[in-house]
Structures are given as structure tokens and as C-alpha cells.
Structure 1
């Protein structure tokens, strides 16, 4: 698809740690796509825009329904890298009739966004991408899950180095998501359960074989994967501490440990373990996931532009395509 006449993608928070990485990944994937870096600090946004080329910057005011944008300003999509408690950013995308992608709305916070979509279902495609590292874990499960005729159990273990939490927006998201909800959601033996901090503990092995204690972490992966696979048990856990790479004296890394159980196509019961590791941490993984989401929404990869509707990555993004793009950006995949 030619993009020479396309309106720019507005990346709100695009001068932050992950936002700027996403802008660079999007520029790598789509060299001709115009991009607008939005934020409160225009000087920082302009610096990122200059580096990207074919980009500009704008001041964004989330307290205003028009985000402080000039009348008549047009965008092709809105991407949010921080929690917008007003939801003015989503309303703005709906007013323009363009797709919207967010990565900061926790599972227990989805109701206002869903309600806003239901009130205007024909206005925008809404990609709810608050999944572990913007769809990376979900893509891994769906890809390797094809080795099974039926999947019975899915367990995701995220290893986040304590030095790799990210910038202020990412830290605020993590702090809110881990402290605001007293309980976490998981699917266990066919029943949805809210578990407390004690019930939600799970020990799993990281890439070095060391046991770490994870805590149930309710992101949208579990809902999407349960719907896509019909597994009877689905959970996602996070361990925050020292990554295996840093224990070896190397810079921090991030890991996604996937443990699958089910029945193979030949009828045999089986278990599989796969490790997705990025030696530069979580930010480049998230950046690729969001960039691929933008591509898909705009019809630049994977099919035609996405029609208005409510989406998660499992129903929109081809797992193999996302994994390939992640590997190009340095992701290592190991099976065990």
C-alpha cells in the first residue's frame, strides 16, 4: 500500500523511552509513513522527529477533547504510551474516525474504554494491546500452540529485570497495575477465578534453570488466549528481580517463558517449553509489538485496513509475522 498521501500517525508519548523506540521501529518498517511525535515537552518531541525524518512534533494536552490540536489537523491513527484517565485520546480518535491503539489499560480498567467503543461502534478500530510486551507473549503461545491439536494449559512467565522497568510512564503503569487491584484474574480448570497475592504465587524456571517466584499478573493475554485456544487453564505471572543475564555479569535482559500442555496432533499428551529472550530488555520488544499493531491497523501489513471494532492482538496480528519482526530486532527464541 502506498503511504505518500497518508496522514501521519500520532504517537502520544513518542519522546519517552518506549515511545521513541516504537517510532524508530515504525520508521524502519514503514520508511515513508509520516509520524507525529506528541507530548507535553515539544522540544523533546521535535528532537525525536528530526532523528526520524518525515516526521513532526506537536504539543498534546490530554485535558482537552481535541488534545490541543489545531482545527482541521488530520491523523491516520492515534497511539497512546501513557494512561489517559480522561479517555480524551480515544474520543479524539473516534471523532476523526481513525484507529486507536493503547498499551496502558489494565484488565480491571477496561470497562470505560469498552463502553466508549460500544457507544460509537462504527467510529474507530480499537486495538487493546495491554498484553505482555505488546503481544509478544500472545504471539509466542499462538505460534507454538499450533504444535498441539488441543491446548489444555497455558502458563506465561515474564522475567522483568528490576533495572528494566522503563521510563516514568512505564513505571507508573506497573505500579498501578500491581497495587490497584487486590486480586488477579486467571483461568483454572475451566473456571475464571480472582486470586489474592498469596494464591497467585507461582514458581517457574528462568532461562538459566534457576527457580524464580512469579506473581499472577492480569493482563489481557489471558482473556485473548482463553478465547482463541479454548484452554482450560491460562495464567500469566511476572517476576521482577535480577535477570539471568545480569546474574552472569551482563546487561539486563528480558524473558518470556511459555509452558504449554495439551494433546499433539497424533493424539499423544505432551508438554512444551519455549523461551523468548531479548538481551536489551523489554523496551525493544514492546516497541516492535506496537509498531506492528500500527501497521496492521492501517493495512500496511497483514491485510486491508482494519474496520471499526474492538480488537486484541490474538484476533488481529499474525503471530508468525510479529515473531519474525521481533527476531529481526534481536529477540532470541529457544525451545526446550
Structure 2
């Protein structure tokens, strides 16, 4: 493989496979390696793509990484990296990395891990909701504000959407407090609290509830605001009420731990043939003239959360592929190379090209 080849770890999974296919559409001759524990499955999927091959890789086996023979310019990791072996391999071999797998605790661990290393290629920790796309959009559309008082992100999750098992890992965080905001706005909150009523693009109106994501860390830094809040709800009202009951009565806490993992995940993991993913982002602040403004951004992807995640990951990949001299460092999904111009039109065009509806309305 040539110097521009890409390794997708978890490349034959639900999201990994879609990433590979979208990359192939964008770059018809770009060599792609599909990596996973099952070489037969990896090879079978790679054979459906041109300029692709399968690679056997077990992310929890350090010895497995020693078997990698090719040199890659980019690794896209779409499976959990519990021992940081993928992250460490990318840093040691000076390979750019996009990692979308880390929920807050592992996200913070990765940040500290990277700080101790000499990084010579871009490392993008893009583990926010939908691979950080929502925070990216919030940051882009907050650029015209002179002051951003608050950003609220609300997501409507379809329980019947296509999904891999990693997609519900957040359910293991539902008994842990977390921090939102910074400086005077900093406070500790609990998951599934402080509901707000939101009307989504389809017209569905319901309450959304707090959930911890890395967006609470990255977006305040990038959008220069001390108040960022992420909330979520499900499109199945009965399931949402059931989960609230389990958490509020401490039943969820009683079934925490590895022993009951399968039970917890069975509550919410029922992947189906697909369902739309909907998002409402509110930005509150003042414009350049000092006038108070509230901007609402809505995102509607009829092809669901796995598709929206895929589009977000390939957007991040484009930044690296088309800017090979981007300095090595830790980056978040809201950041672009300094040489990347017209970020807002790029984001809008990329979403529209992939049949994702984005609207912006000022109040």
C-alpha cells in the first residue's frame, strides 16, 4: 500500500463498513485496509471494495499489533480501545488517528496519555455525539457571535436504528455524576436529570435529559463559552420512561458491573432496519452589534445515527487526507487545519451531499 493508505479498525462492523464505503465513494483509488479480529470477515468485506484488503487485528492484544506489516498515513478507530494499544501504536509510528470510541472517562484518560507522549501526527479524539459533528456545527454557527452565553445540544435517538454494540456503551455511565460548564458556570449534575422540552425537526415534541459526553469538554474550549449542555431522549416514550424509573429507583445502580452488562444492554439495544436521527442545537448570546440572539440549528438524517456518524468521521478524515502537513498534536473534532478555508460552506455542502438536512434559524 502507498503512503496514503488508511487502516479502519473495526472496518467490517456496522459503522466501520459504512465509513469504508463512503471513503471509497469520495476517493475511488485510495487504498483501504479493513481490520478486525476475524480475518475472514475482514477480507470478505474488503473484497467488495476496490483497492482494499483485510487485516487481522485484535485491539486488546499487544502482540497483534506487532503483526502489522504495512505503513499507513491514517488510522480510523471505530471500536473500543480499552488498553490504548491503537492510540499508542499510532503515536509510536507517527500515524494520524481519528478515534470515535471514547466515552468521558476513557476520553480523559486518552487526553492525559497523549500529553505524556511526543506526538508527530494529528490525533483527533472525535468521541462526541455523532463523532463530534454536533459540536462542530455548534462551533461553526457560533462564529458570528460576539459572546456565546450558552449552547444546548438535544438529540433524539431511534431505538430501532441500525447500531453496533458499542453504540449503547453510554448506558454504563447513567449512575455517575459529571461536570458541565466552566468557571462560574461549572457544576456537578446527574444523568437523566434537568429535563427540557424540545421540538425536533419531524415535529415530535418531548423532554430531553442530561447525559455526559466529551462535547462537554471540547465545545467550551472551541466555542469560547462556559455553558454547554447535552441532552438526549428516545423516540420510544415507554422505553424512556422505563429507563428513568430504573435509574431514579437505583435499580440501575444495583445491576451495575460486568456481571449484569448483558442485562443492561438488553434494555436499550434492539437494533433494527433503521430510523432517522434528529438534533436541535440552541446557541444563546449576542451578535456583533451587541443584540441578543438565539440561533437554532436542526439536523435531520433520514438514514439514522450510524449514517450521521459515518458522515462525520469521513469529514474528519478529509481534513487529514487533504492536509498531509497538518502538524502533529492532539485535536478535537471542532478544529480544522489553519489552511482549511470556508469551513461553514464545506460542512453545509458535505452534509447536503449526503442527504442530511441542516437548517439555521435566528430568533
User: Which whole-Å CA distance do the structure 2 matches of 1:234 and 1:12 have between them?
Assistant: 31
Q: How does 1:153-168 map to 2 (within 5 A)?
A: 153-164=150-161, 166-168=163-165
Matched, 1:229 2:223: yes
Deviation of residue 21 (structure 1)? Answer: 0.5
Measured against aligned partners, the alpha-carbon deviations of 1:35-80 in whole angstroms (never above 9, x if no partner) come to 1000112222223212221110011122332534536432222211
CA distance in 2, matches of 1:175, 1:112: 19
Displacement, 1:152? 1.1
TM-score by length of 2: 0.81
For the pair 1:293 / 2:316, whether they are aligned, the reply is yes
Correspondence for 1:174: 170
Contact kept, 8 Å, 2:145 with 2:288, in 1: the verdict is: yes
After TM superposition, the runs of 4+ consecutive aligned structure 1 residues lying more than 4 A away are: none
Contact 2:162 2:275 survives alignment (8 Å): no
Distance in 2, matches of 1:328 and 1:205, equals: 25
Equivalent residue, structure 1, for 2:210: 216
Task: Identify the residue that residue 246 of structure 1 maps to in structure 2.
Answer: none
State the 1:329 CA deviation. 0.7
**Which residue in 2 is equivalent to 1:308?**
328
How far apart, CA to CA, are the structure 2 residues paired with 1:230 and 1:30? 35
Q: Whole-Å Cα distance in 1 between the matches of residues 16 and 312 of structure 2?
A: 12
| Count of residues paired in the alignment | 321
Residue correspondence of structure 1 range 1-336 to structure 2 within 5 A: 5-68=2-65, 70=67, 72-164=69-161, 166-171=163-168, 173-176=169-172, 178-179=173-174, 182-187=176-181, 190-197=184-191, 199-242=193-236, 252-298=275-321, 300=322, 303-316=323-336, 318-336=343-361
Unaligned runs of 5+ in 1: 244-249
Question: Equivalent residue of 2:181, what SS?
Answer: strand
> What CA distance in whole angstroms lies between the structure 2 residues aligned with 1:167 and 1:221?
21
Q: TM-score, normalised by structure 1?
A: 0.87
Question: Following the alignment from structure 2 to structure 1, what is the Cα–Cα distance between the partners of residues 99 and 65?
Answer: 19
Provide, for residues 283-305 of structure 1, a one-character-per-residue CA deviation record: whole Å limited to 9, x for no partner: 1111111112222223x1xx443
- Structure 2: 5+ residue stretches without partners: 238-272, 338-342
Q: Find the residue that maps to 1:110 and give its secondary structure.
A: helix
**1:7–1:75 contact (8 Å) kept in structure 2:** yes
